[in-house]
């Protein structure tokens, strides 16, 4: 996966987090559309974690290949 694509995907996930934060009703966060926004925030955070894990695994793979 191209590094530019990774950056674009992470920026899109951050943009989704920012958008969903605006939809959360902080006085009642577990009712109505707020719960959907919270689920969207958690899904975006999971996507970012997975992308960062992918980057780290590629770095480890390069180190292992360099040793062999």
pLDDT digits (tens, 9 = 90+) for 40-59: 999 999 999 999 999 999 99
Q: How far apart are CA 37 and CA 65, in angstroms?
A: 42
Burial of 44 (0-12, 13-18, 19+ CB in 10 A): buried
Burial of 10 (0-12, 13-18, 19+ CB in 10 A): middle
Give backbone dihedrals phi and psi of 28, rounded to 5 degrees, phi first.
Answer: -140, 75
Share of the chain above pLDDT 70, in %: 100
Please give the average per-residue pLDDT across 4-9, as a whole number: 96
* DSSP secondary structure, 9-23, as one string: HHHHHHHHHHHHHHH
The pLDDT value recorded for residue 68 is 80
pTM for the model: 0.88
For the chain, domain boundaries: 3-67
């Amino acid at each position: 996966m191209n590094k530019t694509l990774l950056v674009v995907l992470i920026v899109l996930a951050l943009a989704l987090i920012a958008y969903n934060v605006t939809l959360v009703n902080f006085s009642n966060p577990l009712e109505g559309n707020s719960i959907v926004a919270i689920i969207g925030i958690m899904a975006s955070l999971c996507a970012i974690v997975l992308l960062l894990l992918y980057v780290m695994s590629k770095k480890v793979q390069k180190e292992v290949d360099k040793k062999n």
